[in-house]
Homo-oligomer: A and B are copies of this chain.
Amino acid sequence: MKQVKPFLVAVALTVTASAFAQQAPKPEQVIKWRQSVYQVLGWNSNRIKANVDGQFNREEVVRAANSTAAIANSGLGALYLPGTEQGKGWHDTAAKPEIFKDGKKVGELAANFAREANELAKVAVNGDQAAVKAQFGKLGQTCKSCHDDYKVKD
């Protein structure tokens, strides 16, 4: 059994060590998945931003918000496995070493992110453009609060 760090537990890690042992993804693959998750979140954000700042297409916003929420709830802590603190996926990891250590705080930030993403998915269904924009702003703050502390600056 591999030991899991508190952060992994804190963000509701549901990957069992035995399950992962079967597939044994390499650290490089795990880092690629991790970097890809943030790209997909970035795509969704880009689409939502275009809609709240310009012509509002509710259907597109709902689709993008649902994708973001489902990803936020999908157990992202599993992508911060021990052994992936350093290394290259698509590029060198931008995760600071602290994200692997600050279990409690990172867990809180991850929960904030999921909460606001879930709320955006709800607001997107019925809210007007201004309400969606306001909730999108709250979601963005949760992204920023984590990036500020745990992402290497570009």
Contacts and interface: CB of A to CB of B under 8 A. Distances in A.
Interface of A: 12, 14-16, 18-20, 22-23, 25, 32-33, 35-37, 39-40, 42-44, 46-47, 49-51, 53-55, 57, 59-60, 63-64, 66-67, 69-71, 73-75, 78-79, 90
Given A36-B40, A90-B90, A54 B14 contact: no
A79 B67 CA distance: 15
B47 A19 contact: yes
A117 to B, nearest CB: 11
The DSSP consensus for interface residues of chain A is helix
A29 to B, nearest CB: 9
A59 B12 CA distance: 10
Contact of A19 (B39, B43, B50): B50
A33 B42 CA distance: 8
B70 A66 contact: yes
Contact of A70 (B23, B55, B67, B90): B67
B73 A19 contact: no
